[in-house]
Amino acid sequence: MKKKLLLLGLCAAGAPLFAEEAMEASAPGINSGDTAWVLASAALVLLMTVPALALFYGGLVRKKNILSVMAYSLASALIVTVLWVIGQYSLIFGTTSADPASVRGVSEWLGTFKNVFLAGISPASVHSNAPTIPEFAFSMFQLMFAIITVALISGALVERLRFKAWFIFTVLWSIIVYTPLAHWVWNPEGILWHMGALDFAGGLVVHTSSGISALVAVLVLGPRLGFRKTPINPPANIGYVFIGASLLWVGWFGFNAGSALAGNGLAANAFLVTHLAAAVAGLTWMLFEWIVLKKPSVVGACTGAVAGLVAITPASGFVGVFGAFMIGIIVSAISFTFMSVFRKRFKYDDALDVFSVHGLGGIWGALATGIFATPFINPAAKGLIAGNAAQLGIQALSVLLAAGIAVVGTLIALGLTKILCGGRLRPTEEEEKVGLDLSQHGEQIETE
């Protein structure tokens, strides 16, 4: 995500917006255009969680649980923001040396405490990953990724997780899983950065980690009441699903194109391939449903588009049009097949198919980066087709490490959460039957 800026030496010079007073608030290399783009992108990524993900997930559950699902996304934004300022940013992006490439040892696995409560950061300071924007802008952009990652997990656990348990789990998972993994991939001192792993905007850090963690959590928590006996009711509000998916699509331009951390050609390419992969994947999914189910559904097309957005995320700064086409087609084939065949065969209750879309989509996207990355788009990256088979191996190893910390970290986080919740992660059977809106929040969407 940030590596290409260092490798390509992208350090645009900019002038202050105002007179001499502005010179004190801006470092010499800060570019006002880059800063504006990254700030706008940060807002777009926040939009992806609240309200986009809240609406997308909320529309897919039963009416008695819509508000509880929205509360998961809202709580993620509130909790992670506080954690970020207290120390999560420092532990991810804090560095120990002016020459990160030479650092070995503990710093490869975790950052420092030097920026706790954002200490040492001023309006004039910059981070080595983003030398043309203020570090405050860089930090806020990265915060939005941390927020949505844990929120994605909630889609697998809806309708059967106590809000207290979600609150505690969000804190623990963010610290145990997201913090070290983001450091490994996106900090110049991180172990996967040193290995040469490519993850432009979060295929490993966001989607693989959340998808694998969601599957682990589902297996620990168990299915919803009656899941194996009677079909769960259809989505309560497909209109919410459509609006949420549409907002996710728009927000994803900030997610991927914003990860160039500058208003440049790399951002433009990421914008292009992001939109193309989403369209190709959504169309492919629609055609699959037309062939297999005889009717293309709105929910299916929205799901396919989101799968395309997931898969292109790690590759968006490294692949061109051909790569985007292939990534979009193949991710729909993978996710649609898994949801249609394997999920039913194994009968696990991943309520909103987080593993099928985000887990498998993120894994495919990470591997596809190792296949389709081309120096024509980014001279810092060369994949299998461009003659560098080793990159695919590096991507595969990075997927294994991401999956490993997701599995182990999620089990630890759930175990500690259960202890702190008095041994009970789920509501009582009666509370589940009534619905989590009333039993957990004391409110509900009015019925006609």
Q: Give per-residue pLDDT as tens, 389-418.
A: 999 999 999 999 999 999 999 999 999 999
Residues of the chain short of pLDDT 50, as ranges, are 1-25, 448
Cβ atoms of residues 175 and 88 within 8 Å:
yes
Residue 249 confidence (pLDDT): 98
**Would you state the pLDDT for residue 13?**
29
Cβ-proximal residues to 119 (8 Å cutoff; 6+ apart), any chain: none
The pLDDT assigned to 80 comes to 98
Taking CB atoms within 8 Å and a gap of at least 24, the contacts of 114-120 are 114/90, 115/89, 115/90, 116/86, 116/87, 116/90, 117/85, 117/86, 117/87, 118/85, 118/89, 118/90
Q: What is the CA radius of gyration of the chain?
A: 21
Q: What is the pLDDT of residue 344?
A: 80
CATH class of the 31-95+114-441 domain in this structure: mainly alpha
Check residue 436 and give its pLDDT: 97
- The pLDDT value recorded for residue 26 is 55
Question: Which residue ranges make up each domain of the chain?
Answer: 31-95+114-441
Confidence at residue 18, expressed as pLDDT on a 0 to 100 scale: 30
CB 337 within 8 A of CB 280: no
